[in-house]
Amino acid sequence: MEDRELLQMALKAKATAYAPYSRFEVGAALVTDRGKVYTGVNVENASLGATNCAERTAVFKAVSDGERKIAAIAVATDGDAIPYPCGICRQVLAEFGDAGMRIICGSSSGKFTVHTLGELLPHAFKLR
């Protein structure tokens, strides 16, 4: 799947984000090694620790559907700022992707970057 196509899916997903506190809506779209696409959005909570990022929402949907290997993920938001996965999201991605997994980070302005998980989390914690 093309990086721009996955990024467009993330931007489309962003429309259903629940971000009443930060007003920072984020969408994510991932593709598994079997070619299945899952989307996710950030879901905020008044108890901020209970907030879930878009990336983890997409991963958890995929895993709950039986997927175990992520090939690539796109993360998107509005404006010029390019969003990057937070530390917890990077670690969750490391559980289901390898160091070469593509992470596409972009905004509605059309700007985007592509990194590998190994670049963004060079020393991931792994038990297996």
pLDDT tens-digit map of 8-22: 999 999 999 999 999
Chain segment 73-128, per-residue pLDDT in tens:
999 999 898 999 999 999 999 999 999 999 999 999 999 999 999 999 999 998 87
Q: Which of 55, 67, 95, 119 is catalytic?
A: 55
Give the end-to-end CA distance of the chain in Å, rounded to a whole number: 28
Clarify whether 55 is annotated catalytic.
yes
Rounded CA-CA distance 59/95 in Å is: 10
- Label residue 52 by pLDDT band (50, 70, 90): very high
The structure's pTM equals: 0.96
Q: What is the pLDDT of residue 128?
A: 74
CA separation for the pair 43, 26 (Å, rounded): 9
Question: Domain map of the chain by residue range?
Answer: 3-120
The CATH fold assigned to 3-120 is Cytidine Deaminase; domain 2 (3.40.140)
